[in-house]
Amino acid sequence: MTVEGRETLYRAIRDAVMDEITAHGIELVQEQDHDLLVPVSVSARHIHLEQKHAEILFGKNYTFTKHRDISQPGQYSCMEQVTIVGPKSQMERVRIVAPLRKQTQIEISKTDAIKLGVNPPVRHSGDLKGSAPLTVIGPKGNVDLLEGCIIADRHIHMSPADAKRFGVVNHQKVKVEIDGEKGGLMYGVTIRVSDRYALDMHIDTDDANAFGIKGQEYLTLIK
Query: 177 forms bridges with which residues in the sheet?
Result: 185, 220
> Tens-of-pLDDT digits for all 223 residues of the chain?
543 444 444 444 445 444 443 444 443 334 445 568 999 999 999 999 999 999 999 999 999 999 999 999 999 999 999 999 999 999 999 999 999 999 999 999 999 999 999 999 999 999 999 999 999 999 999 999 999 999 999 999 999 999 999 999 999 999 999 999 999 999 999 999 999 999 999 999 999 999 999 998 999 999 8
The pLDDT score that the predictor gives to residue 8 is: 46
Instruction: State which fold the 154-222 domain adopts.
Output: Barwin-like endoglucanases (2.40.40)
Global confidence as pTM: 0.82
Contacts of 24 (CB under 8 A, 6+ apart): none
The pLDDT score that the predictor gives to residue 56 is: 98
The pLDDT score that the predictor gives to residue 35 is: 63
Beta strands 142-152 and 105-107, pairing class: parallel
- Candidates 222, 138, 65, 68; CA nearest to 201 is 222
Q: Give the C-alpha separation, 135 to 53, whole Å.
A: 11
Would you list the DSSP string of the chain? --HHHHHHHHHHHHHHHHHHHHHHHHHHHHHHHHHTEEEEEEE-SEEE-BHHHHHHHH-TT--PPEEEE-SSTT-EEEEEEEEEE-SS-EEEEEEEEES-BSS-EEE--HHHHHHHT--PPEE-TT--TT-EEEEEE-SS-EEEEEEEEEEEPPEEEE-HHHHHHHT--TT-EEEEEE-STT-EEEEEEEEEE-TT--SEEEEEHHHHHHHT--S--EEEEE-
Q: To 5 degrees, how large is the angle CA 142–CA 143–CA 148? A: 145
Q: Name the phi and psi angles at 187, rounded to 5.
A: -95, 170
Query: In this predicted model, what pLDDT tens digit does every residue of 156-205 receive, in sequence order?
Result: 999 999 999 999 999 999 999 999 999 999 999 999 999 999 999 999 99
Q: Give the C-alpha separation, 35 to 33, whole Å.
A: 5
The pLDDT score that the predictor gives to residue 29 is: 36
Q: Where are the domains of the chain?
A: 1-35, 44-152, 154-222
